[in-house]
């Protein structure tokens, strides 16, 4: 079985933000590879953040309908659902590692999904947090 890769929100956004130029192309290719290898993992948090950001915050926002269609495609990925015990676990990760709560929730869902690598632009590259390696694919 191949490793699973958790995709943080920023990577998913770049894959659809055509004005992000090089980041767009790099992230689009990463997402395509994850589709082809069937080893991408996201969470409900990532899906929510993606929805808000691509419909309101990128230079050329996507339509609500288009964004719903995109998210429906990601329902075929492994989607980690956030529940009360996971929020509690994320709080402990936050305290142990001095991270933001939102980053800790990403780490917690990656752990829940048995992921080894987290693609993100937000955390320290090469850092291993709670057994999850942080990889910034823009630097690869």
| Tens digit of each residue's pLDDT (9 = 90 or more) over 31-65 | 999 999 999 999 999 999 999 999 999 999 999 99
**pLDDT tops 70 at residue 140:** no
Q: Are 111 and 4 in contact (CB under 8 A)?
A: no
Give the separation between CA 45 and CA 2, rounded to whole angstroms: 24
Q: How far apart are CA 98 and CA 107, in angstroms?
A: 12
Please report how the helices 64-74 and 44-56 are oriented relative to each other, as an axis angle in degrees rounded to 10. 160
- Number of H helices and E strands in the chain, helices first, is 6, 6
In angstroms, the CA 24 to CA 79 distance is: 23
What's the rounded Cα separation, in Å, for the pair 12 and 9? 5
Tokens describing residue 93:
């990760």
How far is it, in rounded angstroms, from Cα 120 to Cα 42?
12
CATH of the domain spanning 5-139: 3.40.50.1010
Give the mean pLDDT of 66-74: 98
Q: Which residues contact 7 (CB under 8 A, 6 or more apart)?
A: 30, 31, 34, 40, 41, 42, 46, 119
pLDDT at 67: 98
Q: Determine contact, residues 49/43, Cβ cutoff 8 Å.
A: no
Top pLDDT among 123 and 27 is at 27
């Amino acid at each position: 079985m191949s490793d699973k890769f958790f995709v943080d929100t920023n990577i998913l956004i770049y894959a659809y933000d055509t004005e992000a130029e090089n980041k767009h192309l790099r992230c689009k290719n990463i997402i395509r590879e994850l589709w082809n290898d069937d080893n991408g993992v996201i969470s409900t948090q990532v899906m929510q953040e993606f929805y808000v950001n691509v419909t309101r915050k990128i230079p050329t926002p996507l339509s609500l309908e288009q964004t719903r269609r995109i998210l429906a495609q990601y329902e075929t990925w492994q989607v980690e659902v956030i529940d009360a015990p996971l929020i509690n676990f994320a709080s402990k990760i936050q305290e142990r590692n001095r991270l933001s709560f939102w980053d800790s929730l990403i780490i917690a869902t990656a752990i829940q999904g048995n992921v080894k690598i987290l693609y993100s632009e937000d955390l320290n590259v090469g850092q291993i947090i709670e057994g999850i390696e942080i990889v910034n694919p823009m630097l690869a």
